Amino acid sequence: SQQGEEDPQALSIQEGENATMNCSYKTSINNLQWYRQNSGRGLVHLILIRSNEREKHSGRLRVTLDTSKKSSSLLITASRAADTASYFCATGTQGGSEKLVFGKGTKLTVNP
Amino acid sequence: EAGVAQSPRYKIIEKRQSVAFWCNPISGHATLYWYQQILGQGPKLLIQFQNNGVVDDSQLPKDRFSAERLKGVDSTLKIQPAKLEDSAVYLCASSLKAEAFFGQGTRLTVV
């Protein structure tokens, strides 16, 4: 079963605008990760936030985590056409080795 | 550093036939995952290995799917017999700690 649920399912914005995607999950986690998938390709890891962290930055990416609400958000600032992709959150629940459970994803389209 | 290698990239088979996918993870990565991704959906974990032991195979349809990771390195995923609903992209990933590295996937079409 899938742990994370991304919202919205689809998002269309203009180049230069910010894009915000949300992820909700159900059970306790060790960490939450965001991945990007370009059409027809494999997933690429973007950023990881641990359960004891509240916010993390990496370049134009900003991730927040609220464990009390079991939710996370991914903000992409100053979006580019090359950011067009599907974005997935994955919850890591460590029980010997990291178990990664993915949500259904947000399809982001950045229009030039 | 070489990435996760998967083969073949594409496969078309008829229903009831068998098919096998191969994955070579990044050297030194103890954890190996197989995911099934149906078009428009997120990846669904089929099986997870830690070295050559199975950590989780709760969502693997064991009546038709099997996977092995001999010597804790390469892995194969087999489907026998295939059904139409098995049409999907099969993704292999490996990890050393928390971050997973994915291969390009094998796109399976069952006709």
**pLDDT, tens digit (0-9, with 9 covering 90-100), for A73-103:** 999 999 999 999 999 999 988 655 678 888 8
Dig out the tokens for B69 from the structure. 């990771």
**Side-chain half-sphere CA neighbours of B103 within 13 A:** 28
Of residues B65 and A99, which shows the higher confidence score? B65
C-alpha B6, offset from chain centre: 9
pLDDT at residue A1, rounded to an integer: 47
Residues B91, B45: Cα–Cα separation, whole Å: 9
* Mean of the per-residue pLDDT values of chain A: 91
Instruction: Give bridge partners of residue B47 from the DSSP assignment.
Output: B34
* Mean of the per-residue pLDDT values of chain B: 95
Nearest CA in chain B to A87: B42
**pLDDT band at B62; cut points 50, 70, 90:** very high
pLDDT at residue A2, rounded to an integer: 53
Q: Which residue in the set A42, A44, A96 is minimally distant from B55, CB to CB?
A: A96
Q: Is the pLDDT of residue A26 over 50?
A: yes
Residues B43, B23: Cα–Cα separation, whole Å: 16
Torsions phi, psi of B85, nearest 5? Answer: -75, -5
Sign of the Cα torsion A8, A57, A43, A93 reads negative
Which residues of B make CB contacts under 8 Å with A? 4, 30-31, 33, 35, 41-45, 48, 50, 55-56, 59, 91, 93, 95, 97-105, 107
Q: Which residues contact A75 (CB under 8 A, 6 or more apart)?
A: A18, A19, A20, A61, A62, A63, A64
A42 touches chain B (CB under 8 A): yes
C-alpha A9, offset from chain centre: 12
Pairing of strands A106-111, A10-14: parallel
User: Quick one: what percent of chain A has pLDDT higher than 90?
Assistant: 73
Residue type, A55: E
Kindly list the residues from chain B whose CB atom is less than 8 angstroms away from the CB atom of residue A96: 50, 55
